[in-house]
Amino acid sequence: MASELLLLDFNFSPFAARVRIALEEKGLEYESREEDLDNKSPLLLEMNPVYKQVPVLIHKGKPISESSIIVQYIDEVWNHKSPLLPSDPYERAHARFWVDYIDKKIYPCGNKLWNLPKGEAQEAAKEELMESFKTLEAELGDKPYLGGNTFNFVDITLIPFYSYFHTFEKLGNLNMVKECPKLVEWGQRCMHKESVSKSVSDPIAVYEAALEIIRDLGF
């Protein structure tokens, strides 16, 4: 099975982490090949010539790109266990809505905390980031998971960013427990799943990587 599945990977990528979690949830063996994003491999450029980014899942020689598309592909091909999307069409559409929301809000805003100098633009990004987290906290409500009673596609999409909470707090002078207590509890709950804990990045390593970016940018 491992020879059939090759993941072009990057340890700090929350998008690649989604794919790792989905593969673990399905109990699939796969080979992970770490990419140097400053010196992208010929294989990555061949398999994802449009975006030239990770993750790319290569299944029997055929590439699938973009994390949310890959997770859905995994769920459709290996549908014998651990469903990642709801079976009901409305619930599937609901899950896809929140996945789209996360992709449009969390990383773009969070990324600005270490890619912009301190000032109005960074403050605006921080405010939008926290508004987005509060929107997700309201959607979570009293449910154990964003997907409802079971861990699903929406949780897989957001949980890699739990490793970024420490960085967001340090760089944005935020307090996630105070601002979004239910979301923090949700993150802790998800981390008890082996598929998650073995797949997401270390929070301290993420923060150190962000500081290195800030130093390189001269902020």
pLDDT digits (tens, 9 = 90+) for 116-173: 988 999 999 999 999 999 999 999 999 999 989 999 999 999 999 999 999 999 999 9
Query: Which pLDDT belongs to residue 5?
Result: 97
Bond from prior residue into 55 cis (ω within 30 degrees of 0): yes
Q: Can you tell me the distance from the alpha carbon of 173 to that of 27, in angstroms, rounded to the nearest whole number?
A: 39
DSSP one-letter code for 149? S
pLDDT at 178 over 60: yes
| Cβ atoms of 208 and 33 closer than 8 Å | no
CA angle, 72 then 111 then 129, to 5°: 85
For 192-199, what is the mean pLDDT?
98
CA-derived radius of gyration, the chain: 17
Amino acid at 98: W
Of the listed ranges 31-35, 65-69, 78-82, the one predicted with least confidence? 78-82
Model pTM score: 0.96
Mean pLDDT of 36-46: 97
In three-state secondary structure terms, 56 is strand
pLDDT in tens, 3-27: 699 999 999 999 999 999 999 999 9
User: Structural domain boundaries of the chain?
Assistant: 5-78, 89-217
Identify the CATH number of the domain defined by range 89-217.
1.20.1050.10
Strand partners, 63: 58
Q: How far apart are the first and last CA of the chain?
A: 46
pLDDT at 118 (0 to 100): 87
At 205 the pLDDT is 96
pLDDT mean over 45-71: 98
What architecture is the 5-78 domain classified under in CATH? 3-Layer(aba) Sandwich (3.40)
Provide the token pair at 198: 């073995």
Burial of 91 (0-12, 13-18, 19+ CB in 10 A): middle
What are the tens digits of pLDDT across the range 159-177?
999 999 999 999 999 999 9
Tell me what pLDDT residue 174 has: 93
